[in-house]
A and B are shown apart, each in its own frame.
Chain A
Amino acid sequence: MDSDAILTAVNAVESITNSPHTPERSSYRARKTVEQIIHLIFLLCGIVAVAFVLLISIYLILSGLPAIRQIGLVQFLLGKVWDPTNTTTGAQYGILPFILTSVYGTAGAIVIGVPVGLLTAVFLAKVAPPKLAAVIRTAVQLLAGIPSVVYGLVGMIVLVPAIRNLFRLSSGACLLAAMLVLAIMILPSIINVSETALRAVPKEYEEASLALGAAEMETYFRVSVHAARSGIAAAVVLGVGRAIGEAMAIILVAGNVSNMPGLFTPVRFLTTGIISGMAYASVGSLYQQALYSIGLVLFLFIMLINVFLNVCVKNRKEG
């Protein structure tokens, strides 16, 4: 490795000495200016990420607030009726159905997805023979890479009719279908993050537990999972973030009607509400501005989740 280092360094110096610059004072100064300019360019590249976050926050707040102010915060957040195009009794902009649907849908996805994901993570980290684990890990990675519309398409064609037939409904496009699709979509991130956390559990913990007479599975679930709990919590929070922000996979399976959520009623999420509304709202109308406000509410949810995630990660580092 050291000989490599010397070789690359020598190459670097050769390219210096071969360059037409003569080592005079003025060229030294020029070189220094060039270095400073390059430093500045890289600094700007770094700042861009911060600028993007600011841009997003500022734009969402600026364009989300006017509609909220016009409709009224309480009316907007707690109103149960979303009917922006009703001309006879007046338009109504209540997004409680969207908020509750997003919350219930996410909760459902977590309830279904986390047990399966956690068990798979334990399998990958502790139980599986290494070769099998490698195969499954690739499978998980592929699941993560499948575009969300593809999940939506398969859900629409396979899951929705199945739910309709199973529960004898008039239409299978409902909250339950969306929960199932979301559960599948958050699986990869839950598996990956939990597996990493489980792998980080010191071997001594498990050895001690085994030596005290605990069986393998008792050790994994009562010692390893317990020791990795903050990492697993981070996985769950990450899953919540994924599920609440997902749009294209569920727009095809959720029925897309702004009802108050019920397991078998067609519903709209915060995300799908924005997408389907945007197709009808004319530019500059209160309708469109209300959609920006929904975006702002979603953004606040996500930021809250990010804060939770940071707390989880910090706890893990300290604990």
Chain B
Amino acid sequence: MNGQTLSLRRRVYNRGMRALVWLSAGLTCALLVFLIGYIFCRGIPGLTWELLSGQTSYIKNTIGILPNILNTLYIILVAMVIVLPLGVGAAIYLTEYAENRRLVSLIEFAAETLTGIPSIIFGLVGMLFFVQKMNLQAGVLAGGLTLVVMILPTILRTTQESLKTVPQSYREGALGLGAGKWRMVRTVVLPNAIDGIVTGCILAVGRIVGESAALLYTAGFGLVLNDFFTALHSSSATLTVALYVYANERGETAVAFSIATILMLLTLLINLSAVFLGRKLKKN
């Protein structure tokens, strides 16, 4: 508009900054496209049925990642079953029950602190406490419990946000008609906050699927196929840990890329469904 009246220096600044801004955004997108493209190109050729349905054996000289797929599912199951009631309960306490503001800010501060702690620290403490102190073998149970500590703030935060969006009039209506507090929470508040809780769960599952540092020494490196109850107490590598083992210790780059492809597909699926749900949530 006033491009003609600006001095040359300002025009150069303006054009230059505009170019840089577009370039940076382009770079960010290009990075994602490159990552997805490269991983799929290297990984998809190796994604055979034998790889997906078999297990690694030195004797037969085969590599299969079925145990790792199952271990990932087991860990998701264990962690979510424990963390879901805990996180939702804590959020309900903070939004519906708590009267002591100091306690509320203490709990919120604790959750915030947990968010900032890197996963390697969770792994270290998980190993110290669950594996060594409580004498659980490194396995799905110890790994799952470690992840509970890690993802509690995710569930707590998202549930709390969605509980806050439930209109106060709903609560007043229920209480006014004689419902007890617990009945109000159960029949009025929670059903109206379910979308947010589901989104929180999806995000939490995403973090579990992508987690590795916290699981190395709590869930272990085992590549053997186990049923659920054996896996609880025996070393079981999830997909991410298996990727690390194959890439770092075995030098099986092709297998590592195939696992990376699966992880990328899961990440895409999980994130897109969270975005989709989030949008639906906003519309409502």
- Kindly state the interface size class of chain B when it binds its partner: 35 or more
When the two chains form their complex, are residues B174 and A9 in contact, meaning their CB atoms are under 8 A apart?
yes
Give min CB distance, B108 to chain A, whole Å: 9
Report A-chain residues with C-beta under 8 Å of the C-beta of B191: 8
Secondary structure of the A contact surface, majority rule: helix
Given contacts A8-B174, A48-B152, A139-B32, contact A56 B117 (CB under 8 A): yes
When the two chains form their complex, are residues A247 and B173 in contact, meaning their CB atoms are under 8 A apart?
no
> Any chain B CB within 8 A of the CB of A43?
yes
Of B14, B167, B240, the contact of A147 (CB 8 Å cutoff): B240
When the two chains form their complex, are residues B267 and A142 in contact, meaning their CB atoms are under 8 A apart?
yes
Give min CB distance, A118 to chain B, whole Å: 8
In Å, the complex CA distance between A152 and B260 comes to 11
When the two chains form their complex, are residues A9 and B212 in contact, meaning their CB atoms are under 8 A apart?
no
Task: Give the contacts of B79-114 with A (CB-CB under 8 A).
Answer: 85-90, 92-94, 96-98, 103, 106-107, 110-114
Which residue of chain A has its CB nearest to the CB of B127?
Answer: A278
Task: Give the contacts of A126-155 with B (CB-CB under 8 A).
Answer: 127-128, 135-136, 138-143, 145-150, 152-154
Of B24, B88, B153, B211, the contact of A49 (CB 8 Å cutoff): B153
Report A-chain residues with C-beta under 8 Å of the C-beta of B8: none
When the two chains form their complex, are residues B90 and A45 in contact, meaning their CB atoms are under 8 A apart?
yes
> Any chain B CB within 8 A of the CB of A162?
no
When the two chains form their complex, are residues A141 and B275 in contact, meaning their CB atoms are under 8 A apart?
yes
In Å, the complex CA distance between A145 and B36 comes to 12
> Any chain A CB within 8 A of the CB of B228?
no
Which residue of chain B has its CB nearest to the CB of A150?
Answer: B260
Give me the interface of B with A, judged by CB distance under 8 Å. 2-3, 6, 10, 13-14, 17-18, 20-25, 27-29, 31-32, 35, 38-39, 42, 85-90, 92-94, 96-98, 103, 106-107, 110-114, 116-122, 124-125, 127-129, 132, 149, 152-153, 156, 167, 169-170, 173-174, 176-184, 187-188, 191-192, 206, 209-213, 216-217, 240, 243-244, 247-248, 253, 256-257, 260, 263-264, 267-268, 270-272, 275
A-B contacts, 11 listed (Cβ < 8 Å): A48-B90, A52-B110, A53-B113, A56-B125, A135-B29, A141-B275, A143-B28, A145-B267, A146-B35, A245-B117, A275-B213
